[in-house]
């Protein structure tokens, strides 16, 4: 396994983590009263857009899943539209799952949906950038020993860490601490964000540590 590829992955992941930090502090210079807790909905929008934009740019620049086949312009447009539809469907699916896990059904619909968008940005968008609108490839990657590259291994780790972070972030909500960050969905979105950032850092380190054991075979 080439060390240069692992360094590229580490650099890309660190840039994604930096984009989240900038999304938390940058808007305060342009928006009066902006803060992660005080204007949480605005922060979720800024964070989602920032992470999504950087992921797309990194994918276009680094081309971790570059195919040898040349596709037509019509195929690229069709692929882009499918990705948009898949992302929207992912937001709806996450919204439904979050409601089933106890989020308000009628109240706080905007908050719940924006949280679903944030979670989709941390998980589904990465799948779309790396694998495209190919459900079979998604199933393969998230099956046991299904990763075929270090980028797919990183995708596994960051996606799982994001979902686990969101799940752990829900634990403090029922407690009667009466803290501002216990308001729905602040703790869950922060948990997902910290989980995503942890995954971005853990992934290249884990891959580097286990590089001798990792053997990727094409299927």
Q: Where are the domains of the chain?
A: 1-28+57-62+74-217
**Residues above pLDDT 90, as percent of the chain:** 71
> Mean pLDDT score of the chain, rounded to an integer?
91
* pLDDT for 68 beyond 60: no
| Angstrom distance (rounded) from CA 55 to CA 69 | 22
List, for residues 129-141, the tens digit of each pLDDT value. Answer: 999 999 999 999 9
pLDDT of 143? 86
List, for residues 22-61, the tens digit of each pLDDT value. Answer: 999 999 999 999 999 999 999 999 999 999 999 999 998 9
> pTM of the prediction?
0.92
* DSSP 8-state class, residue 170: T
Q: Is 55 in contact with 126 (CB distance < 8 Å)?
A: yes
């Amino acid at each position: 396994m080439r060390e240069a590829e692992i360094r590229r992955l580490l650099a890309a992941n660190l840039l994604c983590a930096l984009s989240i930090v900038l999304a938390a502090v940058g808007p305060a210079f342009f928006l009066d009263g902006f803060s992660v807790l005080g204007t949480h909905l605005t922060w979720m929008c800024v964070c989602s857009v920032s992470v999504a934009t950087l992921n797309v740019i990194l994918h276009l620049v680094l081309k971790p899943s570059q195919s040898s086949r040349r596709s037509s312009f019509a195929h690229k447009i069709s692929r882009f539209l499918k990705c948009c539809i898949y992302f929207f469907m992912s937001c709806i699916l996450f919204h439904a799952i979050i409601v089933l896990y106890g989020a308000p059904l009628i109240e706080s619909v905007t908050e719940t949906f924006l949280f679903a968008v944030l979670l989709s940005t941390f998980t589904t968008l990465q799948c779309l950038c790396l694998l495209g609108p190919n459900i079979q490839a998604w199933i393969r990657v998230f099956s046991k020993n299904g990763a075929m590259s270090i980028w797919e291994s990183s995708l596994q780790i960051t996606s799982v860490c994001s979902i686990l972070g969101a799940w752990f972030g829900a634990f403090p909500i029922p407690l009667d601490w009466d803290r501002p960050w216990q308001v729905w969905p602040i703790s869950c979105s922060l948990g997902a964000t910290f989980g995503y950032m942890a995954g971005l850092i853990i992934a290249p380190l884990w891959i580097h540590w286990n590089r001798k054991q990792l053997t990727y075979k094409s299927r």
